[in-house]
Amino acid sequence: MLDQLQRLPADPILGLAAMARADTRAAKVDLTVGIYMDETGVCPVFDAVREAQAMLATDEITKAYLPPAGVDAFNSGMQKLLLGAEHPALLGARVSSVQAPGGCGALRIGAEIIHAATPGATVWVSDPTWPVHLPLLGSVGLQFSNYRYYDPATHGVNFQGMVEDLKSAGAGDVVLLHGCCHNPCGADLSLAQWAVVADMAEAQGFLPFIDIAYQGLGDGLDEDAAGLRLLAERLPELIVAASCSKNMGLYRERTGAAMFVCRDQENAEALVSQALVAARRIYSMPPAHGALIAGKILSDSKLDRTWRVELMEMCARINGLRSDLRTKLEAASGRDFAFIEKEKGMFSFLGLSAEQASRLREDYAVYMLDSSRINVAGVNAGNIDYLAESVAAVL
């Protein structure tokens, strides 16, 4: 039976990353996978995480299953982190959430909830979006439509195109939005544009589904959640998929939250019961380690402070790299790279063709996706000059 199954191609991003790892050229620059890397090229463990982990190691008395909805301190901490402790939706008790295995698990739970409410619903996704959205949501049975989002000519959001396209989204449809630090393009909506999306959702009745995997890596924790908070205040219903992979560095611990903003408390509780049945069908119980760490950080004021300072340093470093990269690329190529500085988070399209990206790989050991998406956090003082010169050489 199993011998009929053919080998499948590697995931394009992970495949390229594996190719980069295997490349032994000394000048190699790997900007493929979306993980934060420090000046030394290492994806670091936060001090706050180390401290929380040390506390857990002494306090933990069991490895029994977590309750199906996960760690309480994590769930309530994440709601406050996402919405702000005084958000009217929280005070109105119309918010609920469950722990999920990473942002991916949260996206999948959200998709299951959507499918349970409207089987085969259409999800409007930005063009482009994170490619993994399609298998994660599509395998549940949801359909897709695209809305215009990134304009390569301006390196910014084509908001007029987005609004025109979303005029066709109606009640029963879902609009997937990147909460901040858009992956892959780094171009985010302004707060005024989020308000227009809220107007449209109100008038047309579509359900926003917000994927927020980079809170704190754009402008700061509160600033990056401003659009989400505005929608949660204005609209009766919202689904949020959040991840602690990047902003707490808990990638391998699979730590995420699916949060529901509902009409009322009864509906919020009903959605938890739906999410738990969906989780039971897929993985039963969420993993404990990451959420225990994140729950400890979010509920302990000293650890929370330590974490926020570390995250702010990360955010400042990314923004500093953006401006350094702009300066170096402009000096090396004589072209305009101002857009890199305007974008948010870890990603940017450099605006190269697939052929130029492949020449960079083959001739210079500089790895980026064929779309020319780079992970800005993979740039450092040791590789920035070589990167700028290599890009200029293929332009």
Ligand X SMILES: Cc1ncc(COP(=O)(O)O)c(C=O)c1O
Residues that bind ligand X (CB under 6 A): 34, 102-104, 130, 183, 211, 213, 243, 245, 251, 256
**CA–CA distance, 239 with 207 (Å, rounded to integer):** 8
Q: Given the complex with ligand X, which of 130 and 194 has the nearer CB atom?
A: 130
The H-or-E segment that residue 175 falls in is: strand 174-178
102 or 295: CB nearest ligand X = 102
CB closer to ligand X out of 130 and 337: 130
CB of 146 to ligand X, least distance (A): 16
**Least Å distance between CB 90 and ligand X?**
23
User: Tokens for 197?
Assistant: 């999306």
Q: Which is nearer to ligand X, 84 or 102 (CB)?
A: 102
The three-state DSSP-derived secondary structure of 263-323 is CCHHHHHHHHHHHHHHHHHHCCCCCCHHHHHHHHHHHCHHHHHHHHHHHHHHHHHHHHHHH
Q: How far is the CB of 34 from ligand X (least distance, A)?
A: 5
Least distance CB 349 / ligand X (angstroms): 15
Query: CA angle at residue 245 from 242 to 251, to 5 degrees?
Result: 140
For residue 375, the 8-state DSSP code is E
Smaller CB distance to ligand X: residue 186 or 256?
256
344 φ, ψ to 5°? -125, 145
Minimal distance, residue 386 CB to ligand X, in Å = 26
Distance CA 83, CA 95 (A): 10
Cα–Cα distance for residue pair 307/246, rounded to 1 Å: 12
We find the least distance from the C-beta atom of residue 266 to ligand X, in angstroms, to be: 29
> What amino acid occupies position 50?
R
Strand partners, 141: none
Residues noted as catalytic: 130, 211, 246
CA atoms of 269 and 271, how far apart (whole Å) = 5
- The helix/strand count (H/E) of the chain reads as 16, 13
Q: Which residues contact 65 (CB under 8 A, 6 or more apart)?
A: 285
Residue labelled with tokens 């609004």: 163
Rounded Cα distance, 299 and 364, in Å: 47
365 vs 376 by CB, closer to ligand X: 376
Q: Which of 140, 142, 138, 160 is CA-nearest to residue 151?
A: 160
